[in-house]
């Protein structure tokens, strides 16, 4: 049990050190490392005859390799090309590139399925389809079929910003208040104006992407739940 706890903590730490890429879309070398780490950690976990260090040393060595490879990729284009490969353009200017499809061992059904999953139903709607190095398909539709933006329609609007949490589970986040250039006094007076005496009554309060104050009390949350039941 203690071994499991130690190894679990180590693997979580290692995945954190590998960065966010490791828990999102994986490049081939990252996938290999993730599979190997899971196997290496499980061996000493189930077999007490194997010293923990026999699992820990290869895991740290893999972490080291992963970091070296990602730094190399960051610094050199050639390394990036060798390690991750380059994206393949499957549909180029509206035409399917059969040679690239063959090279990627991708059949037409796979391509059409991926295109459907991206929300396009007709092949002729697509100008470019790019198979990324992490296996995802990016699609650029024909310009006349792409969605109109606010800019296209000349609609004037303010830029949205990141919503900032001010109270979470009754606890005031003073750091975020400072970020907004506000203080506790402002928060209390805002709450008082909404007939709330203490932040402890608030389940969540935040400044939304438009900078407006939004909040929900515990009472409101529980009422809502009761209604659903």
Partner 1 sequence: MKNVLITLVLFLGVIIICSISVNYLNTISNDIYIENTSLKKYVETENWDKATSKSKEMSKHWHIYSNRCSVFVNHTLIDDLSLEEHKLDAYIQTKDKDEALASCDSIEFLMERIKKLETINLQNLF
- Any contact of residue 67 with partner 1 (CB under 8 A)? yes
Closer CB to partner 1, residue 45 or residue 63? 63
CB-CB neighbours of 187 under 10 Å: 21
In whole angstroms, how close is the CB of 191 to partner 1 at the nearest point? 38
Question: Toward partner 1, which CB reaches closer, 8 or 64?
Answer: 64
180 is a contact residue toward partner 1 (CB under 8 A): no
Among 48, 143, 147, 154, binds partner 1 (CB under 8 A): 48
17 sits near partner 1 (criterion: CB under 8 A): yes
Q: Is 50 among the residues that bind partner 1 (CB under 8 A)?
A: yes
- Say what the alpha-carbon torsion angle 71, 72, 77, 82 is, to the nearest 10 degrees: -130
Residue 3 or residue 182: which is nearer to partner 1 going by CB? 3
Using CB under 8 A, pick the residue from 63, 91, 191, 215 that binds partner 1. Answer: 63
Give the angle subtended at the CA of 100 by the CAs of 98 and 103, to the nearest 5°. Answer: 110
* Secondary structure (3-state) at 127: strand
Structure tokens at 110: 């796979």
Residues near 72 by Cβ (< 8 Å), separated by ≥ 6?
Answer: 79, 83
Q: What are phi and psi of 122, to 5 degrees?
A: -115, 135
Task: Calculate the CA 221 to chain-centre distance.
Answer: 28
Minimum CB distance to partner 1, residue 14 (Å): 9
Which of the ranges 45-53, 83-91, 99-107, 179-187 carries the binding residues for partner 1, by CB under 8 A? Answer: 45-53
Residue 92: partners with Cβ closer than 8 Å, 6 or more residues away: 128
Rule CB under 8 A: is residue 76 a binding residue for partner 1?
no
Give first-to-last CA distance, the chain, whole Å.
40
Q: Which is nearer to partner 1, 60 or 145 (CB)?
A: 60
Residue with tokens 């092949």: 123
Q: Contacting partner 1 (CB under 8 A), which of 38, 39, 51, 138?
A: 51
Residues that bind partner 1 (CB under 8 A): 17-19, 48-51, 53-54, 56-57, 60-61, 63-64, 67, 71
């Amino acid at each position: 049990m203690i071994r499991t706890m130690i190894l679990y903590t180590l693997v979580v730490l290692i995945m954190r050190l590998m960065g966010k890429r490791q828990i999102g879309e994986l490049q081939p070398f990252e996938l290999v490392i993730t599979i190997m780490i899971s196997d290496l950690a499980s061996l000493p976990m189930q077999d007490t005859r194997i010293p923990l260090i026999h699992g820990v040393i290869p895991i740290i060595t893999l972490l080291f390799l992963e970091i070296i490879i990602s730094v190399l990729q960051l610094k050199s284009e050639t390394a990036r090309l060798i390690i991750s490969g380059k994206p393949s353009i499957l549909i180029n200017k509206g035409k399917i590139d059969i040679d690239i499809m063959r090279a990627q061992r991708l059949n037409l059904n796979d391509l059409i399925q991926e295109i459907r999953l991206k929300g396009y139903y007709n092949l002729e709607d697509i100008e470019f389809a790019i198979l990324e190095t992490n296996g995802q398909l990016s699609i650029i539709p024909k310009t006349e079929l792409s969605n109109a933006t606010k800019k296209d329609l000349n609609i004037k609007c303010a830029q949205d910003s990141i919503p900032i949490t001010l109270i979470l589970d009754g606890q005031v986040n003073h750091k975020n208040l400072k970020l907004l250039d506000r203080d506790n006094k402002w928060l209390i007076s805002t709450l008082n104006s909404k007939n709330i005496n203490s932040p402890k009554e608030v389940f969540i309060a935040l400044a939304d992407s438009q900078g407006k104050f939004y909040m929900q009390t515990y009472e409101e949350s529980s009422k809502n739940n009761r209604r659903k039941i």
